[in-house]
């Protein structure tokens, strides 16, 4: 009666772990907490994972990979630089809002990894930052010199987007679409002085 495969159980474990990590923080969470939250015995956790740190690593790696994959998908075929930026923001915030716990763990526990695991995640981070910087370069090329340093702009945008785990409630009055619209407007208006019409905020019609 192998209703759930090992991979599926690992996914459930990662999901439960992300929830607890997001609530209590990585270091504050004990393996006993995770055992309780996932319904497995303490020792049982080690059948799926070799250490507490690997749990954190898998959460960060898997979710970051999905963010990057989503970005590539949404950017495919889009050529207008401003459109590309809005899609980038859209993808980031959509995923963030749909996986608040995981993304809080990714944003907030960045310094808790070490060794090769840390390097892997940091390499993904570099890739992702470079993608945004390239988009910004495209915008400058199309709309003239920016009003702010490109690096500052990129990290400011990440700051706006990643900070939301401190205040945003995905189930509250403010929908993700509106949030992305607002952040997109603030950024684009300030970076190159472009007023962003609602029309230039593409929404995927399905999915």
Partner DNA sequence: GTTGGGCCTGAACGGTCGTTCGAAACCGCT
Partner DNA sequence: AGCGGTTTCGAACGACCGTTCAGGCCCAAC
* Subset of 67-106 contacting a second copy (CB under 8 A): none
Among 155, 153, 180, smallest CA distance to 168 is for 180
Ramachandran angles phi, psi of 25, nearest 5°: 95, 150
User: How many whole angstroms from its chain centre is CA 119?
Assistant: 18
> Do 191 and 129 contact (CB within 8 A), yes or no?
no
* Subset of 30-49 contacting DNA (CB under 7 A): 30-33, 40-48
**Residue 122 is encoded by which pair of tokens?**
């940091």
Q: In whole angstroms, what is the distance from residue 3 CA to residue 108 CA?
A: 34
**Residue 206 is encoded by which pair of tokens?**
């399905």
Q: Which is nearer to a second copy, 69 or 178 (CB)?
A: 178
From the list DNA, a second copy, none, partner contacted by residue 152 (C-beta under 5 to 8 A by kind): a second copy
DSSP-derived letter for residue 49 is -
Q: Does 2 bind DNA (CB under 7 A)?
A: yes
Q: Which is nearer to a second copy, 40 or 89 (CB)?
A: 89
**Which stretches of the chain bind a second copy, using CB under 8 A?**
25, 27-28, 108, 110-112, 147-149, 151-153, 155-156, 158-164, 166-168, 174, 178-179, 182-183, 185-191, 193, 195-196
Contact residues for DNA, defined by CB under 7 A:
1-2, 5-6, 9, 29-33, 40-48, 50-53
């Amino acid at each position: 009666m192998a209703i759930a495969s090992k991979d599926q159980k690992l996914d459930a474990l990662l999901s439960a772990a992300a929830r607890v990590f997001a609530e209590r923080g990585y270091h504050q969470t004990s393996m006993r907490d995770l055992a309780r939250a996932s319904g497995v015995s303490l020792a049982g956790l080690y059948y799926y994972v070799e250490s507490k740190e690997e749990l954190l690593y898998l959460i960060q790696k898997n979710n970051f990979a999905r963010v990057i994959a989503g970005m590539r998908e949404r950017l495919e075929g889009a050529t207008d630089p401003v459109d590309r930026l809005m899609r980038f923001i859209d993808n980031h915030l959509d995923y963030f809002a749909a996986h608040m716990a995981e993304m809080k763990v990714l944003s907030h526990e960045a310094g808790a990894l070490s060794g090769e695991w840390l390097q892997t995640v940091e390499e993904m981070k570099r890739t992702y930052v470079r993608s945004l910087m390239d988009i910004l370069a495209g915008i400058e090329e199309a709309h003239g010199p920016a009003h702010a340093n490109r690096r500052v702009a990129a990290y400011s945008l990440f700051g706006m987007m990643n900070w939301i785990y401190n205040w945003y409630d995905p189930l509250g009055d403010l929908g993700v679409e509106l949030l992305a619209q607002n952040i997109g407007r603030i950024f684009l208006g300030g970076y190159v002085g472009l007023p962003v019409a609602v029309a230039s905020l593409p929404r995927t019609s399905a999915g």
